Amino acid sequence: MEHQRPKILLVDDRPENLFALEQTLKPLNASLTRAISGEEALSQVLRQQFALILMDVQMPGMDGFEAVSLMRDYDDTKNVPVIFVTAISKERQFVEQAYESGAVDYLFKPIAPGVLLSKVKVFLELEKQRIELEEAVQKNKKMAAHNETVLDCITEGIISFNSQGIIDWANPTALRLLGMTLPQVAKSKLFDLFHLDQKQPPIQWDDFTQTNESGSHAQIRNCDYLLKRQDCTTFPVEFSMSGFTEHIQDGGVFSFQDITERKWAEDELIRLAQEDSLTQLPNRALFHEFLRVSLQERVRDNGNLALLMLDMDDFKRVNDTLGHDVGDKLLQSVSARLAECLRQGDLVARLGGDEFGIILPVIRKSDDAGRVANKVLESFKKPHQLGSCTLTVGASIGITTFPEGGKDIKELIKSADTAMYHAKGTGRNNFQFFSREMQERVLAKDTLEKELIIALKERQFESHYQPKIASNGDLTGYEALVRWQHPTRGMVFPDDFIELVEETGLVVELGKQMLEMACAQNKKWIDEGIVAENTTVAVNVSVRQLSEKSLVKTIQDVLAQTNLPPECLEVEITEYTMMNDVEHAIVVLTQLRDLGVKIAIDDFGTGYSSLTYLSKLPLNTLKVDQYFVNGIGEDPGDESIVKATINLAHSLNLQVTAEGVETDEQRQFLIANKVNYLQGYFFSRPQSSSNLEQWIVEQNFSNIPQTPVI
Ligand code: C2E
Ligand code: CA
Ligand code: CA
C-alpha cells in the first residue's frame, strides 16, 4: 500500500513566517496546510489527521499554548505531535509551559532551516512508524475476529489446554456438545472429560507428554472414545489431539466430533449383518463369532461349554403342505420358544432353514446341557398357534461339549451335528450327546468316503446279477447289484457303503457306472444268444439320482452307447424314493417310459404310497418287499398282504415280482397267487457275470425264455 504524503500543519499569524516555513520544509515532500490563527488551527486538526504541527506561540486571539491544550482534550487530536516555534525568550518558564501543554519540542525564531528540517524529519519518521504499527494492529485485530468467527462456526468442538493438560479455552461447539459453559470447562483437566468406565482411553496424559519428550511430534489422530457431558451422560466422539509445538510446553489443542449418528448407523449395520431377518435371532455369522469368543474364554479358564444343534422334525412337510407363510410363522414361534428356554448369556441362533444352534458358554457339567435340551423339547410339546392353524412339531437335538467333543469350532460343530443326526436316526424328537463311538463312526465315515472316491475313479465297483424267474420257470431277466472289490477288504456288499454313497452324492457316478456295466452285459448276453432277446436287466436308481436333472440323459446316452434296446432295461426305484417327491417322480418316470424303459417300484409295502399316486405313476412292475415274502408260511398277516398286493397290482395293470424267495413253499404260494416273477436265493444268489453265465447255461432254461402272459 502506498503511503499518503505526511501532512504538516503550519500555524502562524504572519504570512511571511508561514512562507519561510514552507520554503524550509519543501524538500520533505510533505503536504503543508496553513493556519493563521489558533482557532483556524483547531478547526483544521478536527478535519484532518496531521503527522505534525508547527505552532507559533504568540498570535492574536487564541495563542499557541491555548490551542494545543484544547487539542489535547479530543481523542482524535490529543496525540498529534506539536513543535512550538516562538520568538519569546527561552526562559525556563515558557519552555515548561510549552511541554505541559503537550509540545514535543521547542524551537526559537529565527529558526535555523537545517535544525527545523532534521527535527521535522524525525517526527515524520516516527509518525510513519506509528501508522504502520497501527495498521498492523488493525490487521491482527481483524484476523483475530475472523479466526473467532471461524472457530465459532465450525461443527468440531475445539479445546485448547496448557502444558499440564488443563483446559484454557473451548469454542462454542465444544461447549454445546459438552453441555458446559466456558467457566465450567476452563480450569478442569482435559482427560477428565473422558468417560473412563468403558474401555481404556486410546491414550493416557503421561503417554501423550512422553511421546513429545522422545522428540516426536505430540499427535493423535482420529481416535474413537466416549466423552462425558456436564450431566454425566456420555456421547461417542472421534478426536484428534496435538501439542502446539513439538514439545507440548505451550499446551495443545484437542478437537472432536460427535459421532453418535455415525455410531448408530454402524451398529445398525452390524446388527443387520448379524441377525436373521425372519426370526430376529442371531444368524450364523454371529453364532460363529460368539462360539469363537466363548471358546477362547473356556480355553483360558479351563472351563466347559456346550453346543446344541437343533433340527426341527418334519419342517419340510409343513412347508410343502401348508405353505411357506405358515412355515415362516412356525419358525418365528419356535424361535421365540427357544429364546425363552435359555438363561441370560446363552445364545440361540438360526443357522438356516429349520436348523438352530444353541451355545451355553459356561457349563459346570454336561448334565446342564441335557437339562436345557429337555426344557427345549418340553416347550416343543405345546402346539403352536399360527393364524388359523394349530401345529405341533418335534425337534432332534445333538449336544456336544468342550473339550470332550472337539478342540476347535469346526470339530465342535461337526460333533454336535453328528449327535443331531444320531438323534434324528433314533426316532426323532429326542436329544443325543456326542460320544466316542459316534466320533469313531464319523472318522470311519470320513475314511470310507475318501476310499469311495478312489474306488469310483479306479472302477473298483462291479455288478453282480441275480436272475428273475417267470412263474413258468423261464429266465426273464436279472437285477444288477453292486459289489465293491475293495483292494484290501475283498468283496464289500452295498449295505456297508450304499447309504454313504447316497448321502455324499457319489451315487450319481456309481449309478452311471452300474448302468454302463449292466446294459453292456445284457447286450452281450443277448447278442451271444445266452439269453432271450427280450431279457431285461434291472438297475437300481436312488433318490439322489432321481432328483438329478441328468438322469434321463444319462440313461439315454448309455442305451445309445451300448446299443441295448430300451425295453431290455428296467429301472428299480423304491417306493420310498418315489414318494419323497411324487410330482417330480411322475415327470421323470414319464420321460423314461417315453424312451421305452421299463419301470419297477421296489420294496413295495414299506413306503406308504397312496393308491391315487400309484395309479398316476407310469409303472410296469411292482416288487413285493422281501419282508412280506419272508413271512409266507409263518405269518398269516404277511400272506394276506402279499395276496392283496398282487391283486392290487394286477388291478392297476402292473406285473408283480416277488423278491427274497428262499423256499419252495414260498415259491408255490406266490405262484398260486399269480405272482409273475420270482427272485431270491431259492433260485440263485446274485453272482458275478461269468458265474451267472455258467449258471444260466447249466439251468438249461426251456429254449429261449419268454415273458409269460398273466
Ligand atoms: P434291493 O434293491 O432290495 O436288492 C435286493 C437285495 O436283497 C440284494 O441285496 C440281494 O442280494 C438281496 N436278496 C436277494 N434275494 C434274497 C433272498 O432270498 N434273501 C435275502 N435275505 N436277501 C436276498 P444286496 O445286493 O446286498 O443289495 C442291498 C441293497 O443295496 C439293494 O436292495 C439296493 O437297495 C441297494 N443296491 C444294490 N445295488 C445297487 C445299485 O447298483 N445302485 C443302488 N442305488 N442301490 C443298490
Ligand atoms: Ca432292487
Ligand atoms: Ca428290493
CATH of the domain at 15: 3.40.50.2300
Mean per-residue pLDDT of the chain: 89
Residue-level pLDDT at 707: 45
Cα-to-centroid distance, 629 and ligand 3 (Å): 11
580-587: list long-range contacts, CB under 8 Å, 24+ apart: 580/543, 581/546, 581/547, 582/613, 582/616, 582/617, 584/546, 584/547, 585/546, 585/617, 586/616, 586/617, 586/618
CA distance 242 to 218: 5
**Quick one: which atom of ligand 1 is closest to the CA of 623?**
3
Check residue 76 and give its pLDDT.
Answer: 79
- The count of other CB atoms within 10 Å of the CB of residue 666 is 24
- Arithmetic mean of pLDDT, 308-336: 92
Residue 593's pLDDT is 96
Residue nearest to atom 41 of ligand 1 (CA): 482
- Per-residue pLDDT tens for 498-540? 999 998 999 999 999 999 999 999 999 999 999 999 999 999 9
Q: Is 259 found in the same domain as 185?
A: yes
Ligand 1 atom with the smallest distance to the CA of 603 is 3
The verdict on 454 and 541 lying in the same domain is yes
CA 189 to chain CA mean position, Å: 40
What pLDDT is attached to residue 268?
A: 81
Statement: residue 709 has pLDDT above 50 = no
Q: What percent of the chain has pLDDT over 70?
A: 95
The answer to whether residue 19 is domain-embedded is yes
Q: Assess whether the previous peptide bond of 110 is cis (omega < 30° from 0).
A: yes
Position 417 in a domain: yes
**Does 486 lie in the same domain as 385?**
no
Ligand number with the minimum distance to the CA of 624? 3
Residue 709 in domain? no
Residue with the nearest Cα to atom 12 of ligand 1?
660
Query: What pLDDT sits at residue 203?
Result: 79
Centre of ligand 3 from the C-alpha of residue 630, in Å: 13
Q: For residue 675, report the distance from its CA to the centre of ligand 1, in Å.
A: 20
Phi, psi values for residue 297, rounded to 5°: -65, -40
pLDDT at position 609: 65
CB atoms within 5 A of ion ligand 3 belong to: 602-603
Instruction: Give the pLDDT confidence score for residue 708 in this predicted structure.
Output: 40
pLDDT tens digits, one per residue of 624-650: 999 999 999 999 999 999 999 999 999
The DSSP symbol for 391 reads: E
**Distance, C-alpha 249 to centroid of its chain:** 46
Q: What is the CA(517)–ligand 2 centre distance, in A?
A: 16
* DSSP conformational letter for 434: -
- CA–centroid distance, 443 to ligand 3, in Å, is 30
- Of 167-181, 182-196, 197-211, 422-436, minimum mean pLDDT range: 197-211
Query: From the alpha carbon of 542, which atom of ligand 1 is closest?
Result: 44
Residue 441 located in a structural domain: no
Ligand 2 centroid–CA 465 distance in Å is 11
Report which bound ligand comes closest to the CA of 571. Answer: 2
Whether residue 147 has pLDDT greater than 70:
yes
Write the residue with the smallest CA distance to atom 37 of ligand 1. Answer: 481
| Confidence (pLDDT) at 96 | 77
**Which residues, at least 6 apart from 218, have a Cβ–Cβ distance to it below 8 Å?**
208, 209, 211, 212, 241, 242, 243, 246, 247, 248, 252
Atom of ligand 1 nearest to the CA of 464: 25
Please tell me the distance from the alpha carbon of residue 345 to that of residue 342, in angstroms, as a whole number: 8
Based on the domain organization, do 132 and 188 belong to the same domain?
Answer: no
Chain segment 530-548, per-residue pLDDT in tens: 999 999 999 999 989 999 9
For the CA atoms of 364, 367, 373, 379, the dihedral, rounded to the nearest 10 degrees, stands at -100
Nearest CA to ligand 1 atom 15: 680
User: Which residue is listed with cell 408255490?
Assistant: 668
202 and 105, same domain (yes or no): no
Element of type H or E holding 159? strand 157-161
Quote the percentage of the chain above a pLDDT of 90.
59
Q: What is the pLDDT of residue 533?
A: 93
* Structural domain of 398: 279-434
State the distance from the centre of ligand 2 to the C-alpha of 445, rounded, in angstroms. 24
- The total number of residues written for the chain in this structure: 710
Q: Which residues contact 229 (CB under 8 A, 6 or more apart)?
A: 177, 178, 179, 180, 235
Q: Give ion ligand 2 contacts, CB < 5 A.
A: 540, 572, 602
pLDDT band at 215 (very low <50, low <70, confident <90, very high): low
In this structure, what CATH number is given to the domain that contains residue 332?
Answer: 3.30.70.270
Query: Do 218 and 247 fall into the same domain?
Result: yes
Does the pLDDT of residue 348 top 80, yes or no?
Answer: yes
Checking if the pLDDT of 449 tops 90, the result is: yes
Q: Which tens digits make up the pLDDT trace of 29-60? A: 899 999 999 999 999 998 888 889 999 888 88
Q: Cβ distance 184 to 230 under 8 Å?
A: yes
> Do 425 and 399 share a domain, yes or no?
yes
- Most confident residue range from 73-87, 112-126, 309-323, 559-573: 559-573
Cell 405358515 sits on residue: 326
Nearest CA to ligand 1 atom 8: 481
Q: What angle do CA 619, 558, 703 make, to 5 degrees?
A: 70
Report pLDDT digits (tens) over 579-612: 888 889 999 999 999 999 999 999 998 766 667 7
- Report the interhelical angle of 38-47 vs 64-71 (nearest 10°): 30
Number of domains making up the chain: 4
Distance CA 515, CA 592 (A): 14
The reply to whether 215 and 289 lie within a common domain is no
Answer whether residue 610 is part of any domain. Answer: yes
How many Å lie between the centroid of ligand 3 and the Cα of residue 9?
A: 132
Of the candidates 276, 289, 422, the one whose C-alpha atom is nearest the C-alpha of residue 350 is 276
Relative to the CA of 481, which ligand 1 atom is closest?
38
Of 460, 498, 547, 548, which is best to mutate to test ligand 1, by the most ligand atoms within 8 angstroms of its C-beta?
498
Q: Are residues 183 and 315 in the same domain?
A: no
Reported as type and span, the H/E element at residue 85 is strand 82-86
- Report the pLDDT value the prediction gives residue 119, as an integer from 0 to 100: 87
Question: What pLDDT, on a 0 to 100 scale, did the predictor assign at position 211?
Answer: 62
Residues with CB under 6 A from ligand 1: 466, 481-482, 493-495, 498, 507, 511, 514, 540, 542, 572, 602-603, 626, 659-662, 680-681, 686
| Res. 78 pLDDT band, cuts 50 70 90 | confident
Query: Is the domain of 519 the same as that of 375?
Result: no
The CA 687 to ligand 2 mean position distance, Å, reads 15
With bands split at pLDDT 50, 70 and 90, how would you rate the model's confidence at 217?
low
Does 443 fall in a domain? no
pLDDT score recorded for residue 706: 43
49 shares a domain with 174: no
pLDDT band for position 1 (cuts 50, 70, 90) = very low
d(CA 634, CA 623): 20
Q: For residue 273, is it within any domain?
A: no
Which atom of ligand 1 sits closest to the CA of residue 679? 15
The backbone torsions φ and ψ at residue 311, rounded to the nearest 5 degrees and listed phi first, read: -125, 130
* Residue at a domain's end among 434, 457, 487: 434
Between the CA of 659 and the centroid of ligand 1 the distance, in Å, is 10
Say which residue, 677 or 57, is predicted with more confidence.
Answer: 677
What's the gap in Å between 546 CA and the centre of ligand 2?
Answer: 15
Residue of 459, 469, 512, 540 to test ligand 1 pocket, by largest number of atoms within 8 Å of CB: 540
Q: Higher-confidence residue: 4 or 171?
A: 171
- The three-point CA angle 364-367-369 to 5° equals 85
The whole-number average pLDDT for the span 1-17 is 83
Give the distance (Å) from ligand 1 centre to CA of residue 709.
27
Give SS3 for 20.
Answer: helix
Question: Residue 614 has what pLDDT?
Answer: 84
Q: How far is CA 72 from CA 59, 67, 446, in A?
A: 19, 9, 109
222 in any annotated domain: yes
Residue whose CA is at the smallest distance from ligand 1 atom 19? 660
pLDDT given at position 2? 45
Query: Tell me, what's the pLDDT at 245?
Result: 72
